[in-house]
């Protein structure tokens, strides 16, 4: 574990505690942001946007733990908007530190708001870290399977992490950190039986340099290849340097995300992205 990440995480938890009971849920779609914390990333939350036939599902971006949408999606959100997608983002669960079931319920509410505003039957979900794993709870246990077309996880914590900081951060006020420990009760429940319930197509994009979700292979999902694709960045781009925290800003990750969104099924396992910016 890199000390820089440890310090940043501890400082962020301190900020969470300072916020106390102030909610960070997404504002109603007709309202302006209620605080600087709820400012969306560029390209997101145009509630008048209507999907077109080439981009039929709106894209909902789901933060990682300790993240705010404006920073987490500063690079990917405008890229998706320029590509023709209706893009939406929200903050949830007090900097995504609440329990996974609670956050999944907030995701469900946000998906309903997006569906109502756009008229779309389904959405595509693109999540970072916890935001790539937590939607699986929504899909599996909260009737989300028929409302999600693509679930794309960027360095997701699908099988948890052996990172030694997860427990002390959890004890400090981060139930989501406890939920994301390898072998946790939450992950045992989530992964028993099928890991990829029928309905969505699943794409995982991870990096061998992940220092947060360790080992990096814990991100990978088990499931039929026709609707599950696991991508390790360095398999096609051996020199890709991106680690966990800034993976959403990797141009190669963006190419994999667009590949998954632009086609029927998950990302094409045979796709070979351009490896430079």
Residue 229: φ, ψ to 5°: -125, 125
- Over residues 133-144, the pLDDT tens digits come to 999 999 999 999
Q: Residues 67, 90, 62, 174: what is their CA dihedral angle, to the nearest 10 degrees? A: 40
Residue 170: φ, ψ to 5°: -65, -40
Q: According to the model, what pLDDT value does residue 34 have? A: 65
Q: Which domains does the chain have, with CATH numbers?
A: 58-261 (3.40.50.1820)
- Over residues 11-67, the pLDDT tens digits come to 344 333 333 333 333 444 445 566 778 899 999 999 999 999 999 999 999 999 999
Question: What DSSP assignment string belongs to 248-265?
Answer: GG-HHHHHHHHHHHTSSS
Q: According to the model, what pLDDT value does residue 9 have? A: 45
> For residue 18, with 0-12 CB atoms within 10 Å meaning exposed, 13-18 middle and 19 or more buried, which class applies?
exposed
Can you list the residues of the chain whose pLDDT is less than 70?
A: 1-34
Q: According to the model, what pLDDT value does residue 32 have? A: 59
CA distance 82 to 209: 29
Q: According to the model, what pLDDT value does residue 57 have? A: 98
Q: According to the model, what pLDDT value does residue 215 have? A: 97
SS3 label, residue 128: strand
Residues in CB range of 186: below 8 A, 6 or more apart: 99, 100, 101, 137, 178, 179, 180
> Which of 205, 174, 47, 27 is closest to 119 using CA atoms?
47
CA 139 to chain centre: 13
């Amino acid at each position: 574990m890199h000390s820089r990440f440890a310090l940043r995480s501890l400082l962020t938890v301190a900020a969470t505690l300072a916020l106390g009971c102030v909610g960070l849920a997404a504002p109603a779609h007709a309202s302006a942001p209620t605080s600087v914390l709820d400012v969306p990333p560029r390209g997101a939350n145009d509630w008048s946007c209507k999907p077109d036939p080439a981009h039929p599902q709106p894209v909902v971006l789901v933060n990682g733990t300790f993240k705010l949408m404006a920073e987490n999606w500063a690079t990917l959100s405008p890229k998706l908007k320029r590509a023709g997608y209706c893009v939406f983002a929200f903050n949830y669960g007090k900097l995504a530190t609440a329990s996974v079931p609670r956050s999944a319920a907030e995701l469900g509410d946000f998906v309903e708001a997006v569906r109502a505003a756009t008229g779309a039957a389904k959405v595509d979900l693109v999540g970072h870290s916890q935001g790539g794993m937590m939607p699986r709870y929504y899909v599996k246990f909260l009737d989300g399977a028929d409302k999600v077309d693509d679930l794309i996880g960027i360095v997701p914590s699908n099988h948890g992490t052996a990172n030694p900081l997860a427990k002390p951060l959890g004890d400090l006020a981060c139930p989501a950190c406890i939920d994301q420990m390898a072998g946790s009760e939450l992950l045992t429940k989530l992964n028993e039986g099928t890991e990829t319930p029928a309905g969505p197509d699943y794409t995982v994009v991870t990096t061998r340099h992940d220092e947060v979700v360790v080992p990096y292979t814990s991100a990978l999902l088990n499931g039929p290849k026709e609707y599950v694709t696991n991508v390790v960045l360095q398999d096609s781009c051996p020199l890709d340097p991106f680690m966990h925290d800034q993976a959403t800003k990797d141009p190669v990750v963006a190419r994999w995300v667009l590949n998954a969104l632009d086609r029927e099924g998950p990302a094409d396992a045979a796709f070979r992205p351009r490896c430079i910016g």
